[in-house]
């Protein structure tokens, strides 16, 4: 009888431990992320190994580029995503067409959308929202703390800088598709953070760049995405943009280019990006 009781107690203890272990095992997801900012935040929160595919804007960290790609916005097809076997999709709002979203939901896939940030407040919001959704609020707090440190470093750098160089952001997709950024754009927000005066005033979003417009703006600096600058033939190709040769930026070879996600993502690295830009227009080589 004594042995039966001992054996029964052992079963109870083992059963409780097994249940506890099962309850403490974190949920393993097979995630697809759509939107570079979403991907970066999910990775920084510690879920990089659970991302099975991303879109083409998810360039950071670089290992994300080695994953299968679902394409870009209107090119994304539900069939291709379903073939990868995800159980969760995290995406920027409006990134996929309604038809694709409907097909994925009909297949029982959980989908969560987040607003793409265009300023620091939006950055804080999306970090917190993704951290809460993935049930790691403490990691979200740590990521926000690092963002605050980066912004404090930026503020300290700018505290004794009275100059405010001017800049125009040029969106290029080949020589025939060249646009300039105006108000209510990521570039205007980033320039403001970096203590730089945007010359894109009096209009919103992106408009075709005309010779008259760039001449009247006459920016001290021109800012490009690296991919955009490459699309027009690099710095040599800049001279082929009509009207650009009359600008201070061109005449002084003050042309800057950075990774597109780094500049426009307004993700966890936005403080670092703004500081790098602030220094680039003030520290001469």
Q: What value does the mean pLDDT take over residues 174-190?
A: 95
Q: What is the mean pLDDT of the chain?
A: 91
Contact 261, 72 (CB under 8 A): no
Return the minimum-mean-pLDDT range out of 11-15, 113-117, 181-185, 237-241.
11-15
Q: Nearest CA to 81 among 108, 60, 57?
A: 108
- 184 CB-near residues (< 8 Å, 6+ apart): 118, 204, 205
Residue with tokens 């999910």: 42
**E strands, the chain, in order:** 31-34, 51-54, 88-92, 110-114, 166-172, 178-181, 197-198, 206-208, 221-225, 255-258
Q: Nearest CA to 187 among 208, 169, 164?
A: 169
Q: What tens digit of pLDDT does each residue of 14-69 get?
A: 454 544 443 444 567 899 999 999 999 999 999 999 999 999 999 999 999 999 99
Which domains can be identified in the chain, with CATH numbers?
A: 31-144 (3.40.50.1980), 163-280 (3.40.50.1980)
Phi/psi of residue 219, nearest 5 degrees? -70, 150
Q: For strands 31-34 and 206-208, give the pairing.
A: unpaired
Q: What value does the mean pLDDT take over residues 120-131?
A: 98
pLDDT reported for residue 28: 76
Q: Which tokens hold the place of 59?
A: 């360039």
């Amino acid at each position: 009888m004594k042995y039966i009781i001992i054996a029964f107690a052992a079963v109870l203890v083992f059963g409780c431990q097994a249940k506890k272990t099962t309850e403490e095992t974190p949920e393993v997801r097979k995630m697809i992320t759509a939107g570079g900012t979403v991907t970066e935040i999910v990775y920084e929160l510690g879920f990089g190994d659970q991302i099975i595919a991303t879109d083409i804007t998810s360039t950071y960290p670089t290992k994300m580029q080695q994953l299968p790609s679902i394409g870009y916005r209107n090119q994304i097809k539900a069939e291709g995503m379903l073939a990868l076997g995800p159980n969760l999709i995290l995406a920027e709002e409006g990134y996929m067409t309604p038809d694709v979203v409907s097909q994925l939901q009909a297949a029982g896939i959980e989908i969560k959308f987040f607003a793409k940030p265009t300023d620091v407040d939006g950055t804080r919001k999306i970090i917190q929202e993704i951290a809460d959704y993935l049930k790691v609020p403490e990691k979200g707090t740590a990521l926000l703390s690092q963002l605050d440190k980066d912004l404090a470093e930026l503020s300290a750098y700018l505290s004794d800088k009275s100059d405010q160089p001017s800049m125009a952001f040029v969106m290029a997709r080949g020589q025939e598709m060249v646009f300039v950024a105006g108000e209510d754009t990521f570039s205007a927000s980033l320039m403001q953070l970096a203590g730089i005066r945007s010359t894109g005033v009096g209009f919103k979003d992106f408009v075709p760049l005309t010779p008259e417009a760039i001449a009247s703006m006459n920016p001290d600096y021109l800012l490009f995405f690296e991919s955009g600058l490459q699309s027009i033939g690099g710095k040599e190709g800049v001279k082929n943009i009509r009207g650009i040769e009359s600008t201070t930026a061109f005449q002084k070879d003050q042309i800057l280019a950075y990774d597109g996600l780094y500049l426009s993502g307004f993700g966890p690295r936005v403080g670092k990006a703004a500081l790098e830009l602030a220094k680039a227009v003030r520290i001469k080589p």
